[in-house]
Every structure is written in C-alpha cells, then in structure tokens.
Structure 1
Amino acid sequence: METESVALLISALSILLAALSIGWQIAQYLLSAGRPKATLLHGLVSHSEALSGPVTANGKGLDVRRLREQALGGFEAVGIQVTNHGRAPVIIESVKLRPRGGVMTLIPISERIGPDLPHKLEPGANASWFLGYDHAVRLAEASREVLKENVSGVYMTAQLGTGNTIKTRRTLRA
C-alpha cells in the first residue's frame, strides 16, 4: 500500500471515530435528564384505592357500569399518570384538565386526589392524580356552550418545574 492510501484510510477512520464520539456524547446528554411521559386514565376512585386504566385511542375509558356490577365503589374519575423514564428527577408543579379543541383550563385545587404538589418524581417512578369525571363533563360543556368551541373531549397536562408542560396524547370523550 502506498503512503497516500494509508493516510487516507487513517483519516477516514479518524472522521468515523469522531462522529461516533460526538453521537455518543449527544446521546449521553439527552439521556441524563428526566424524561416524563403522561398517560390519561379513567376509572373509579375511592378514599383508599383507584381502579383505573388508560383511555383507548377511540376516547373510551373503563366501563364503569360493569365495574359497579362487580360491587366496586367510588366515584368516576379522570386522571393523569406521569412516569419518569429519564435518569434525573422531575418536579411536577401542577396538573390541569383541558378540553381538546378548546382554550379553557380547569386547575384542580381542593378536589384533586394524589400526591401533594409540587411533587418530586424520581427516575423510574410514576405518580397519578385524579379528578371527578363530572369536572370533565362540565368543562367540555362550558367550552361548547359558552365559547362555542368544537370540543371532542378532555385531556390532562402536567406543568414541570422547568416550565415545560407535558400532555396526554389521548382524549377522553366527555
């Protein structure tokens, strides 16, 4: 092999190694922060337990009527579960109920069920907050009637300590 070919090969390998190194550094930076994800929940909540599940893609929650037939008590609720998939803790400052397709916001203060806010969510942990389903119905109706908005249902958001807001992707029909 000629010296020019060897030099070109060494240069190409150096560039490849540098690109891999910078890619690794970017990945480490992105993965070192908290990465919260939000899931919209629906179900029954009592003073001692919550029987809930994620809202489906078509906007349906759990069949509360069937749960009540099984002698399960509590009130119908909508909630948000925040899971921290990152490597650093995340601070949850507040949770809000919002209409999909509208601008109104319901900020629960006294009737919210869940950990006190602000809440520190450790890596790999999750926490849930619930509100009565009647709040969701009233918010959707108020958005439709008062503001004449085309509201398809409700979703929830969580305000983080960084100022960012995460929201649930799914919408509960209300």
Structure 2
Amino acid sequence: MSVIALILSALSLGWQAASYAMTGGRVNVELRVGETDQTGSNLVTTPAGPDLNAADWLQTYANEGRSGRPVIAVRVHPKGRMPVTVERWSLVIMQDNPPQTLFGPLLLLLMPRELSELDIGHGSHGPPFPHRFEAGSHSEMWVVDGELASWFVAPEKERLDRRWLPIAAKVELGDGRTVRTRQRLRV
C-alpha cells in the first residue's frame, strides 16, 4: 500500500512541476535567413536549416543579381499564458564536434557549448528592446545584415582552422532565462 502512495505522490509532484513550468511566459525562437530591399521595407525570410551554408547562400544571392541585401533574423513567438519580455538577442557560434566519449553526441544535445557570442541587441531592425509580449500576442522579428555572420565567425574559423562553424541565435528573457534556436546556420 505504501508503494502505491509513494508512486502517486511522485506523479503528483511531477505534475505540479510541469504545470508550474508551463504556466509562465514561454517563447519559441527561430533562426531565419532572407533578403530585404535597399530601403528595408520589403522583407522575405525562410527558416535556416541544417544543410544551409551561409557562404553558399550569399554566393547564390550575389550570382542571381538581386538588388536587395541578405539578412539574418530571429523570430520570437510567445506561446505561454503569461506575458514575457525579451531583453536582447545575440548570435552564438556553437561547438559542432561532440566530445569523444560513448555518450558524447547525447551530451552535446543536452548541453550545447557556445564558443563565442555577438550581442546584436539594439543593432537590429525590429521592435525596440526590451520588448514585452502580452499573452496571446503575435510573433515579432529582429533582423541584421547577413554579412555580419561572416565577419563574426571569421576569427574563430581561423583560430580553429575550420571551413565553417554553426551559428545559432539566442534570446534573453526578462526573467533571466535564455532560449536558443534549434536551427543552425553554417558560416
């Protein structure tokens, strides 16, 4: 009988913890690439995917003779029932080699390591920071020039003697939490 009571109390505690975590302000964060015209008024973006290489993307963009500018963006979509505030966002260079252990790839998924960070913050086009999302509000996007990623990654690529490195976007929330994009862009 005491085993049943122990199981039920553990389930109750787990439900309370999950319920507490899901009632606060939560956001989805997405890394996007695209283009904008010279005035910055027309913006077209697509989600960054695992096979998207920034150098190839910029070269294709130049070869097509487009008159706009390539951009990198982060889209933040509120999904919780409580308001949430976005304080700033940044681009981060991520480690892409898992540690050489049996559980290395799993550790990399659970604890991704950031090699370097570039605070974008107020240098991007979008709503001013801090930006407060009320419950049920629509997503917002912040955009920077696409060449910024190449400039940011170049010293790390040289130091590590790599052809490319994965970057992600990271958003810092008003309650101290950070949310990183799952999408990576190879630069």
**Contact 2:78–2:84 under 8 Å retained in 1:** yes
- Could you tell me which residue of structure 2 aligns to residue 31 of structure 1? 22
- Could you tell me which residue of structure 1 aligns to residue 167 of structure 2? 154
**Contact 1:98–1:157 under 8 Å retained in 2:** yes
CA distance in 1 between counterparts of 2:161 and 2:139 reads: 33
Pair 1:114-2:108 in alignment:
no
Pair 1:130-2:121 in alignment:
no
Pair 1:43-2:34 in alignment:
yes
- Could you tell me which residue of structure 2 aligns to residue 5 of structure 1? none
Q: CA RMSD in A?
A: 3.2
CA distance in 2 between counterparts of 1:43 and 1:152 reads: 19
- Could you tell me which residue of structure 2 aligns to residue 4 of structure 1? none
- Provide the TM-score with structure 1 as the length reference: 0.74
* Change in CA separation of 1:28 and 1:104 when aligned onto 2, cut-off 3 Å: closer
Q: How many residues are treated as equivalent by the alignment?
A: 161
CA distance in 1 between counterparts of 2:62 and 2:118 reads: 27
CA distance in 1 between counterparts of 2:82 and 2:63 reads: 40
**Structure 1 unaligned residues grouped into runs of 5+:** 1-7
* Change in CA separation of 1:122 and 1:49 when aligned onto 2, cut-off 3 Å: farther
Q: Give the letter for the 2:115 counterpart.
A: V
- Provide the TM-score with structure 2 as the length reference: 0.70
How much does 1:135 deviate? 0.5
CA distance in 2 between counterparts of 1:89 and 1:73 reads: 39
**Structure 2 unaligned residues grouped into runs of 5+:** 96-113
- Could you tell me which residue of structure 2 aligns to residue 173 of structure 1? 186
